[in-house]
Amino acid sequence: MSTPSGQEGTRRGAGRVQHLKLKLALLLVLCVLPGSGALQMWLDGGSAFALWAYGLVSPLAFVLYWRDKRKARDATWRTPEKVLHAIELLGGWPGALIAQQVFRHKTRKVSYQLVFWLIVLLHQVFWIDHLFLGAGLAHLSFL
pLDDT of residue 135: 53
Amino acid at 112: Y
Task: Return the closest-CA partner of residue 93 out of 140, 54, 40.
Answer: 54
Contact assessment for residue 37 and residue 131, using Cβ atoms and an 8 Å cutoff = yes
pLDDT of residue 84: 96
pLDDT of residue 15: 59
By CB atoms closer than 10 A (0-12, 13-18, 19+), residue 22 is: exposed
Local confidence pLDDT in tens for the 143 residues of the chain: 445 555 555 555 565 556 778 878 888 888 898 999 999 999 989 889 999 999 999 999 999 999 999 998 998 999 999 999 999 999 999 999 999 988 988 988 999 999 999 999 999 999 999 888 875 554 554 44
Domain assignments of the chain as residue spans, ordered by start:
30-139
pLDDT of residue 27: 85
Report d(CA 141, CA 143) in Å as an integer.
5
pLDDT of residue 10: 52
DSSP 2: -
Task: Return the closest-CA partner of residue 61 out of 104, 32, 23, 94.
Answer: 94
pTM for the model stands at: 0.77
Amino acid at 92: G
